[in-house]
Amino acid sequence: MKTPTPLPVEQIPETLPRTQAHARPDSSSDVLVVGAGPTGLACAIEAQKAGFKALIVDKGCLVNSIYHYPNNMVFFTTPELLEIGDIPFTTSLPKPTRLEALEYYRRVAEHYHLHIRQYEWVKTITGGDGKFRVTTTDRHSAIHDYGARKIVVATGYYDLANQIGIPGEDLDKVFHYYREPHPYYDADVVVIGGKNSAAEAALDLWRHGARVTLVHRGPQMHHHVKYWVRPDIENRIKAGEIVARFNSTVQEIGADFVVLRTPSGPQRLKNDFVFALTGYHPDYDFLRSVGIELSDEQMRPVCDPENLESNIPGIYVAGVIVAGSRTNEIFIENGRFHGKLIAAHLSEKLGGGNPNFPLDAT
């Protein structure tokens, strides 16, 4: 059987001109991890524990996705289920806040002396097993090159929002991420969606003085809504404090209005801002550009479930991307164990760690 290899570099979409890449890589590692989310950190920690030299590269900051969650977000998971690297995570209340999680993952990175290149966007992965070449661009458009024997792709799903595909979705007043309520005081705001993000944004906006209409295509709030948020949103809707339009969709967004399709016919509402909180998806183009095959239906990367090696020998997938479009199947709670699976396979394949580590770590 022919061994699959990454795409030839000229076929990679939006690739970098290879002439600009450095002849010698900036540094070499046993394992290069793409993505400094909880999973990427866990993978690097487990690889280090097995004696390998690991480098993590992230296009944003450490745990970039969590950093971009709503400012006052509270996790649905208890802290011990977010732990990585056997470092305890304790919080004063039963559920950690976003700020506590940021603090925790910073401490873990420090504790393990992880090598992390922040604000470098991985653009290409070329070469083959044992001899990969990774090219990144930094915030100043400078290009960096890395060599690695193995690659772990742990790129998450929070960077790409699902588009609804309606006129006006590209207006400045439309957002796919919610951060904080203050700018929307005394404004007419539509929140699209029926899951946690939509429920929590609608409540926060309403509590801080916005007039909120929640539009959801389903008949009620989704059953995944956090057990302590669900009665809150349902009671606000019952009381008419938040207007809900169920079995409804937004058809068009204009400068100062939105048009809804509702069971009782079209409705035009005065509107200042729209939060389209309809989910996110992994960067399938990036995965394909690396040569990783995706299943037809759920876009799951083809990989060995025992060790997460993809169809490209030497390239592993980890974290939420393993579930393809089913982003609610893998989260921090279970994705954090991928590091151990991969590290065990690395030991098997590479025959134990680099005896010089960490003396020659760059």
| Contacts to ligand FAD by CB under 6 A | 34-40, 57-60, 64-65, 69, 73, 75-77, 121-122, 154-156, 158-159, 197, 283, 286, 319-320, 331-333, 335
Nearer to ligand FAD, 28 or 39 (CB): 39
Smallest separation (angstroms) from ligand FAD to the CB of 158: 5
> How far is residue 290 from each of residues 20, 41, 133, 254, measured CA to CA in Å?
19, 21, 11, 39
CA angle 87, 90, 93 (to 5 degrees): 160
Q: Judged by CB, which is closer to ligand FAD: 129, or 159?
A: 159
Q: Determine the distance from the C-alpha atom of residue 241 to the mean position of all C-alpha atoms in its chain, rounded to a whole number.
A: 33
Cα distance between residue 345 and residue 272, in whole Å: 53
- CB-based burial, 191-217: b 16+ in 10 Å, e otherwise: bbbbbbbbbbbbbbbbeeebbbbbbbe
What the block records as the tokens of 71 is: 């400012």
- Of all helices (H) and strands (E), which one includes residue 284? helix 284-290
In the complex, what is the shortest distance from the CB of residue 236 to ligand FAD, in angstroms, rounded to a whole number? Answer: 20
CB of 326 to ligand FAD, least distance (A): 11
**Is the separation of the CB atoms in 193 and 222 below 8 Å?**
no
Q: In terms of CB distance, is 116 or 260 closer to ligand FAD?
A: 116
259 vs 330, beta carbon nearer ligand FAD: 330
CA angle 151, 154, 159 (to 5 degrees): 135
Residue placing its CB nearer to ligand FAD in the complex, 63 or 189: 63
Smallest gap from Cβ 181 to ligand FAD, in A, equals 15
Minimal distance, residue 197 CB to ligand FAD, in Å: 6
Spatial separation of the C-alpha atoms in residues 245 and 186, rounded to whole Å? 20
Q: Contact, 350 vs 30, CB < 8 A?
A: yes
| Choice between 324 and 353, CB closer to ligand FAD | 324
Rounded Cα distance between 301 and 288, Å, is 9
Angle in degrees, 0-180, between the axes of helices 38-49 and 338-350, rounded to the nearest 10 = 40
Q: How far is the CB of 287 from ligand FAD (least distance, A)?
A: 10
Q: In terms of CB distance, is 126 or 248 closer to ligand FAD?
A: 126
Q: How far is the CB of 140 from ligand FAD (least distance, A)?
A: 16
User: Closest approach of Cβ 82 to ligand FAD, in Å?
Assistant: 6
CA angle (128 as vertex; 125, 129 as ends), nearest 5: 115
Phi/psi of residue 155, nearest 5 degrees: -95, 0
* Nearer to ligand FAD among residue 42 and residue 350 (C-beta): 42
